């Protein structure tokens, strides 16, 4: 198989890479571009640890191909903070102790960002179903839900 050349935008930067036609986006991000914030927990789209946003849509980067990203706009965890200023979700996760081991955290933050973009004032139930594609084995989700509630409130300026 010969490599495919891809030109895309990642976290606001233009990025060019060559990848195999059957190579998952997650492998491109991690192994070719050094963006290891997205994690592989399963490789089958069940855990959400590899979540990224492609053209405004939340996807598991293990389930899409790097070759599909030509001309697209990607957001990963590495681009979530604005310089040294954390995104409200990031700050609330720290302040609410919403992470323990932290391996699922990038995926949760990306999924929560996508959720709040669609629904700035979600109920607890909407948060729980909105984040049901992400697995966390440490926290029991209690503090994650509270952190998202606090960030949503902060982002609404309430």
Please give the residue ranges that form the binding site for other proteins (CB under 8 A). Answer: 20, 27, 30, 34-44, 46-47, 49, 76-78, 80-81, 86, 90-91, 93-97, 99-106, 109, 124-125, 127-129, 131-145
Specify the residue, 13 or 125, whose C-beta has the smaller distance to other proteins.
125
The CB-of-84 to other proteins minimum distance in angstroms stands at 9
The CB-of-71 to other proteins minimum distance in angstroms stands at 24
H helices within 78-156, ranges in order? 88-95, 105-118, 124-130, 142-156
Of 106, 93, 124, nearest to 48 by C-alpha is 106
Specify the residue, 55 or 126, whose C-beta has the smaller distance to other proteins.
126
Q: Three-state SS for 81? A: coil
The CB-of-153 to other proteins minimum distance in angstroms stands at 17
Of 43, 63, 48, nearest to 104 by C-alpha is 48
The CB-of-21 to other proteins minimum distance in angstroms stands at 12
Report DSSP letters for 15-78, one per residue. Answer: EEEEE-TT-BHHHIIIIIS--TTS--S-SSSSS-TTEEEETTEEEETTSSBGGGGTT-EEE-GG
């Amino acid at each position: 198989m010969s490599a495919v050349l891809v030109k895309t935008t990642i976290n606001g930067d233009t990025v060019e890479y060559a990848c195999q036609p059957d190579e998952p986006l997650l492998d491109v991000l991690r192994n070719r571009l050094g963006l290891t914030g997205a994690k592989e927990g399963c490789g089958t789209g069940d855990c959400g640890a590899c979540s990224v946003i492609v053209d405004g849509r939340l996807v598991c980067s293990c389930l899409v191909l790097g070759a599909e990203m030509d001309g697209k706009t990607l957001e990963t965890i590495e681009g979530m903070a604005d310089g040294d200023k954390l995104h409200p979700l990031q700050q609330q996760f720290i302040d609410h102790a919403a992470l323990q081991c932290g391996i699922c955290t990038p995926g949760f933050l990306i999924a929560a960002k996508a959720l709040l973009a669609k629904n700035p004032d979600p109920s607890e139930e909407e948060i729980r179903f909105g984040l049901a594609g992400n697995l966390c084995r440490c926290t029991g989700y209690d503090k994650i839900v509270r952190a998202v509630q606090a960030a949503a409130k902060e982002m609404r300026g309430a």
